[in-house]
Amino acid sequence: MTPEEIKALLEDNKKKLLQEVSESKELVFLLKESATRKLTQKEKHKVNKQLLDICKMIPAFAIFLLP
């Protein structure tokens, strides 16, 4: 890979990560709420989807951290 291709991939992953972080604010809110009340099915679905999205992002960045 060329440095330009690597930079483009990092920029793309950065945008995706920023999107996940902004969505994770809602995730944190829902997780806090779940401690005091039962979440609706829709809320549970959001939590599961966001957790899966975050888990998918971790391997994408790990590849770039390898020497």
List of residues 6+ apart from 57 with CB closer than 8 A: 13, 16, 17, 20
Structural domain containing residue 8: 3-65
pLDDT, position 61: 61
Reply yes or no on whether the pLDDT at 30 is more than 70.
yes
Q: Distance between terminal CA atoms of the chain?
A: 14
Reply yes or no on whether the pLDDT at 62 is more than 80.
no
Reply yes or no on whether the pLDDT at 67 is more than 60.
no
Of residues 64 and 48, the one with the higher pLDDT is: 48
Q: How many domains does the chain have?
A: 1
Please state the pTM of the whole predicted model: 0.60
Average the pLDDT over 17-23 and give the result: 76
